[in-house]
Chain A
């Protein structure tokens, strides 16, 4: 009993229950993906799942197409989102805090409800569902996730640097390209991660927005898992994880900005 009290008296051991929880519900499941990916249906070691992926043109095409869609979405989000974040953070151009809230608000609505709304919009203006709807829906869903981190970094930026550049004779456009943009890069990077990652891994959104006509990689993975092809599904998940790992290398990605999502509250 005394020993027990000692253990809990030491506060560093308070993390033990959570460490155990993480081991069972985070580390072990990820390990299982790797194990399933590298084994055949009987449980023996095998590379057949990866061979199957490489030799199936359909799967590879879906994979490349999904990356393409994710890149286009991310690019459009930067294009539309950066000016918005810039205006929102600029006190001369926008004073009202309400507009900021209005931009962040959609992040709190269930993603399927939002997608449903996009489908409704396309029905309403009699536009066909398809690739266009898919890209619009993706941008619509993820734009707030691009605006918010950029807005955050722009707001925290040291404005004396801009004033210094102006005092030293830089034109407004030079100030923007040489000072504002470089200083806001961390925000852009975390925005890219928050848009690219979910777009590359979505599955339901694409089905709803294209009436099941366009398949993204996430859908392929989900279908395989649903149809009992766990090993192949796990292998595809692993491939997706590798892509995401590679793309996060390009950002400063240490996950610090993930918490920004809740920064409003």
Chain B
């Protein structure tokens, strides 16, 4: 009985959380300009999003969102992993100082990060655009990479690295053969985290994107909503994004559980 109530509550909450998304998905299969009018089943919105005579401006926004996220995540992973190795070998005040600075972007609200970077770019007189957005995203993504790599370094046996050096490996060989394989899972989860954070971001992007006509998905939706109506093609697009994320997460989780089980069997 208790379990019945508990499950009912969970599914009630889930229904509340998913109702909006389901409505969007359902109404992506009708042509009506205004959401809520059902004018019969149609995949016209999907075709006009991808195959319209003119390339839909939404696709440009999506492309920008993805390339920015890829570059930002790649650079953050590189910068953050190297930094983590450095921080791991630091002590005392220096280490405290850099850890403190590293925590700031994670604790700061996005709007503050955005405004502070905006003030930086206007103060040194850089025209804002693609490059400034990428830089801003690197700035708020790297701390998360550092945080996901650090635990891996702490779990590592430091003697292995020393042994490699004693046996004649150069520091770079030791890095490639010893440290990187140990921290790779942390680097991968840091990369994924950075990538999703960058794709999700709105507040930092809007302050650093400038007014050269560059749009990401977030700023596109925002501009659209301010103009009044929402582009109907946003419905199929949100549906696709949602389905993709759902699929990816399910795959990741199934794989994670499988490898966890394998590990258990080994032990």
A residues near B (Cβ < 8 Å) are 8-19, 21-30, 32-33, 36, 80, 83-84, 87-88, 90, 92-94, 97, 99, 101-106, 108-114, 116-121, 123-124, 140, 143-144, 197-198, 200-204, 207-208, 212, 218, 221-222, 225, 230, 233-234, 237, 240-241, 244, 248, 253-255, 258-259, 261-262, 264-265
Q: How far is the CB of A94 from chain B (nearest CB, A)?
A: 7
Q: How far is the CB of A83 from chain B (nearest CB, A)?
A: 6
Can you name the residue of chain B whose Cβ is closest to the Cβ of A254? Answer: B103
Contact of A17 among B14, B19, B79, B136 (CB under 8 A): B79
Q: A25-B117, A27-B101, A117-B21 are in contact. Are A218 and B111 (CB under 8 A)?
A: yes
A33 to B110 Cα, complex, angstroms: 14
Can you name the residue of chain A whose Cβ is closest to the Cβ of B221? Answer: A112
Can you name the residue of chain B whose Cβ is closest to the Cβ of A136? Answer: B16
Chain B residues closer than 8 Å to A14, beta-carbon distance: 82-83, 85-86, 89
Chain A residues closer than 8 Å to B115, beta-carbon distance: 33, 221, 225, 233-234, 237
Given contacts A28-B120, A221-B111, 20 further A-B contacts (CB under 8 A): A11-B86, A11-B89, A18-B98, A21-B139, A29-B116, A30-B104, A30-B112, A93-B6, A99-B14, A101-B249, A101-B253, A102-B18, A103-B13, A110-B217, A120-B20, A144-B17, A198-B110, A225-B115, A225-B118, A265-B192
Contact of A21 among B79, B118, B230 (CB under 8 A): B79
Q: How far is the CB of B101 from chain A (nearest CB, A)?
A: 4
How many residues of chain B are within 8 Å of chain A by beta carbon? 92
Q: A29-B120, A114-B20, A203-B203 are in contact. Are A93 and B2 (CB under 8 A)?
A: yes
Map CB proximity to A onto B185-207 as digits: 1 under 8 Å, 0 otherwise: 00001001100100110110011
Can you name the residue of chain B whose Cβ is closest to the Cβ of A208? Answer: B225
B10 touches A21 (CB 8 A): no
A103 to B14 Cα, complex, angstroms: 7
Chain A residues closer than 8 Å to B180, beta-carbon distance: none
Q: How far is the CB of A153 from chain B (nearest CB, A)?
A: 18
25 A-B pairs (CB sep. < 8 Å): A13-B86, A15-B85, A17-B83, A18-B98, A19-B101, A28-B120, A30-B112, A102-B18, A103-B17, A108-B196, A114-B20, A116-B221, A117-B20, A120-B20, A143-B13, A204-B225, A208-B225, A221-B111, A222-B111, A225-B118, A248-B107, A258-B103, A259-B147, A264-B249, A264-B253
A255 touches B23 (CB 8 A): no
Q: How far is the CB of B108 from chain A (nearest CB, A)?
A: 8
A24 to B179 Cα, complex, angstroms: 28
Interface contacts (Cβ under 8 Å), in number, total: 255
B20 touches A118 (CB 8 A): yes
B residues near A (Cβ < 8 Å) are 2-3, 6-7, 9-10, 13-14, 16-21, 23-24, 27, 34-36, 79-80, 82-83, 85-91, 94, 98, 101-113, 115-120, 122-123, 135-136, 138-139, 142, 144, 146-148, 171, 189, 192-193, 196, 199-200, 202-203, 206-207, 217-218, 221-222, 225-226, 230, 234, 238, 241-242, 245-246, 249-250, 252-253, 257
- Ranked 7 nearest A-B pairs via Cβ: A15-B86, A117-B20, A18-B83, A29-B116, A14-B86, A201-B109, A262-B193
Contact of B171 among A9, A25, A90, A234 (CB under 8 A): A9
Can you name the residue of chain A whose Cβ is closest to the Cβ of B21? Answer: A117
Can you name the residue of chain A whose Cβ is closest to the Cβ of B199? Answer: A110
Chain A residues closer than 8 Å to B122, beta-carbon distance: 230
Q: A87-B10, A240-B112 are in contact. Are A12 and B189 (CB under 8 A)?
A: no
Contact of A36 among B20, B88, B102, B119 (CB under 8 A): B119
Q: How far is the CB of A23 from chain B (nearest CB, A)?
A: 8
Chain B residues closer than 8 Å to A19, beta-carbon distance: 83, 98, 101
A15 to B102 Cα, complex, angstroms: 11
A36 to B123 Cα, complex, angstroms: 10
Chain B residues closer than 8 Å to A84, beta-carbon distance: 9-10, 13
